[in-house]
A and B are shown apart, each in its own frame.
Chain A
Amino acid sequence: MGLLDVFRSNRNKGSASVAKERLQILVAHDRAYRNRPSYLPKLQQEILEVIRKYVEVDLDAVSVNYEQDDDQEFLELNIVLPDAAGRG
């Protein structure tokens, strides 16, 4: 860091800019979480039950992800099956 940078960083890079960056990320995350449809946990639970009828998977084997764009919504399902040896 050069001598000039010391002055510059004092001027513009206070802790407020860190606060702002952290807040922007946090608030975007909070809002995405808030806007998720309320049926997601139940959906996840029921999908898991159906899968467990046929395959023995862990309770955390199903993850449901919801994302929203300007004009479309994504529902992402991720199901982790055990390796071949474990399958019935």
Chain B
Amino acid sequence: MARIIVITSGKGGVGKTTTAAAMAMGLAQRGHRTAVIDFDVGLRNLDLIMGCERRVVYDFVNVINGEANLNQALIRDKRCDSLYVLPASQTRDKEALTQEGVGKVLEELGKGHDYIVCDSPAGIEHGANMAMYFADDAVVVTNPEVSSVRDSDRMLGILASKSRRAEQDDEPIKEHLLLTRYSADRVERGEMLSVDDVQEILSLNLLGVIPESQAVLNASNAGIPVVLDNESNAGRAYNDMVARYLGEDLPMRFLDTERKGIFSRLFRG
């Protein structure tokens, strides 16, 4: 049976899809059979970030409705053999994701995979609930910013009360924190919440800190998950995240500003 990981946040635009793509690709690259599912029905984006948007024939809702079987809808990644993408549909209504239907698809996927990564839509409504309902692990993606931290805390409340594990009184979902768009510079200047500030409020297992980076936009422009860009700090930080998820004990990187010379300090804009 596969382990199900939901990438969630509450707030939109914090980096869920980028993180889902990175997590899935990272796990697959390490040899784990991995599937990543886009739960954002109506606003699908994962296929774009993964660079497989032109290969979408059938989607998640088609499978739930029995209009296609799972193998017809799954897209095998061209860079990594053990990675499959299940895209969301573009136009159907959100209620198409029934709990029963989602459960069946996850069960079938679970037979041939080690990990299933669920990319949750923003918000705390139906799609987000479906994405997290069956999860074993949750990665709560948070920006160091007030509304994102608050929404993450609300999402923690939902994970603790409305998931299958909560309803069946099983061991609760394992919650992890991923801080994204982190600017060490601004933290040092006192303009941005630090890792410690956020942890004082949320106190979760810290899976990683992804620095704000040009590389993320470049990667999504090209349809190449940023985790494959090992030249960039963001790519390396995402690789660390995957390794930590798999149990490696790595120190956090990119939390300090690079020491600047006196001239760049004097002439900083």
Contacts and interface: CB of A to CB of B under 8 A. Distances in A.
Interface of A: 10-17, 19-20, 22-24, 26-27, 30-31, 34
Contact of A20 (B154, B157, B200): B200
Contacts of A23: 146, 149-150, 193, 201
Contacts of A13: 190
Interface residues of B, number: 17
A17 B190 contact: yes
Interface in B182-206: 187, 189-194, 197, 200-201
B201 A15 contact: no
Contacts of B192: 16
A27 B189 CA distance: 25
B77 interface: no
Contacts of B150: 23, 26-27, 30
B191 A15 contact: yes
A23 B157 CA distance: 16
Interface string B128-150: 00000000000000000110011
A23 B194 CA distance: 13
B175 interface: no
B153 interface: yes
B178 to A, nearest CB: 18
A20 B154 CA distance: 17
A34 B190 CA distance: 31
